[in-house]
Amino acid sequence: MSVSETLEQTSIPSPLPWQAQQWRRLGIQWRAGRCPHALLLTGQVGLGKRRFAEAFAALVLCEQPRNGQACGGCRDCRLWQAGSHPDFLRLEPEKPGGALKVEQIRQLGNFVARTSGRGGARLVWLAPAEAMNINAANALLKNLEEPAPSVIFLLITGSPSGLLPTIRSRCQSIVFPPPSEEMALQWLENTGFENAVARRSLALSGGAPLMAAALAGTEARAEREQFLQELTALAQGSVNAVTAAARWEAPPEHTALDQLLQFWQQWLAQMVHMRSCDLSGDAQVMALLQRLPGTGEESLRPLFGCYDLLAQARRGLMGGANPNRRLLLEELMIRWARLFS
């Protein structure tokens, strides 16, 4: 299973601490009757965009909200919790990592054409929005161009550049930046993680607390450590790139390929930070840095080049590309091994 941006939640979720500003602003719009017909929730994986959308959907459908959130006890809340609310349509890929197909988007026709089953607003949940193929995107665009009364679209994406500009322009964007390190660490420690584990996982997650919490799990940590050991062996020349790529072509059980590349990027970023600021850090990353030839700024340029190559590969994976994974990993690992030669 891939690292998810959601954790086990209560039946009626609430916004997370670092989402207070976005929640307050959207709540004001909703109570004033000025809620846009389409919202685009953007931000990196692991910030709780889906949880925010769940909380807002529950609020909109609730008969008697309390303190700005869904009450959790009315008939509408119970229907929503059971996944059977007639005014809520959830559209997601049929399988993880798959595409949102035009046949799924066409379900919108019947949903938006009929009247509300409970006399209130109707909501369409669509995630991840960038998973739509071109036909599906064009079908959605028709609905956004001529919005039906009282229908709110909730589009959730970690890659807004993967959406048609015409879709983005018809949505109000709600952007979720990572919280401060202090807030993220406080939340992780309150969730039950030790400070050292929380700090390391948060660094690897790019500052995304929910991903950090998932990364702190025993299985995910073991896979990550194994991958770092593989990269260390490549740096030492004790294994070749072709052999290593063959071992990691299929994603491990708990960590997808894109996430492995993200960890790789974070390790590179740590190396750059340690070298440029003359700092110490994670022992394994420090050991890699010590093997890097050269000193000063000149020694950092190859790291930046490798980082950019990883970023390009991740954009391809997140944008729906289907590269030959063995060849992709071979190219990346060859480039990595050359850093240390």
Which segments of the chain have a pLDDT < 70? 1-10, 253-254, 278-281, 296, 318-321
Provide the domain limits for residue 283: 217-339
8 in a structural domain: no
Same domain, residue pair 158 and 303: no
9 in a structural domain: no
249 in a structural domain: yes
Same domain, residue pair 222 and 330: yes
Same domain, residue pair 164 and 299: no
pLDDT of residue 266: 84
**Number of CB atoms found within 10 A of residue 134's CB:** 9
Residue bearing tokens 């995910």: 220
284 in a structural domain: yes
206 in a structural domain: no
Same domain, residue pair 130 and 264: no
Same domain, residue pair 121 and 225: no
Same domain, residue pair 160 and 255: no
Same domain, residue pair 34 and 157: yes
201 in a structural domain: no
Same domain, residue pair 46 and 170: yes
Dist CA 163 CA 187 (whole Å): 32
Exposed e or buried b per residue across 19-51, where buried means at least 16 C-beta atoms within 10 angstroms of its C-beta: beebbeebbeebeeeebbbbbbbbbbbbbbbbb
CATH number, domain with residue 335: 1.20.272
200 in a structural domain: no
Domain count, the chain: 2
Cα 253 off chain centre by: 18
Dist CA 69 CA 122 (whole Å): 17
pLDDT of residue 116: 78
Dist CA 126 CA 113 (whole Å): 18
Same domain, residue pair 139 and 274: no
The structure tokens listed for 230 are: 């593989």
Among 132, 71, 69, 66, CA closest to 98? 132
211 in a structural domain: no
Bridge partners of residue 161, in order along the sequence? none
**SS3 label, residue 122:** strand
Q: What is the pTM of this model?
A: 0.77
Exposed e or buried b per residue across 233-244, where buried means at least 16 C-beta atoms within 10 angstroms of its C-beta: ebbeeebebeeb
**SS3 label, residue 245:** helix
Same domain, residue pair 36 and 164: yes
Are 206 and 45 contacting, i.e. CB atoms less than 8 angstroms apart?
no
The structure tokens listed for 224 are: 């990550």
Range 163-169 contact pairs with CB under 8 angstroms and sequence separation of 24 or more: 163/40, 163/129, 163/130, 163/132, 163/137, 164/137, 164/138, 166/141, 167/129, 167/137, 167/140, 167/141, 168/40
Same domain, residue pair 72 and 150: yes
Same domain, residue pair 238 and 158: no
pLDDT of residue 11: 74
Residue that finishes a domain, picked among 145, 175, 205: 175
Are 244 and 230 contacting, i.e. CB atoms less than 8 angstroms apart?
yes
Are 288 and 235 contacting, i.e. CB atoms less than 8 angstroms apart?
yes
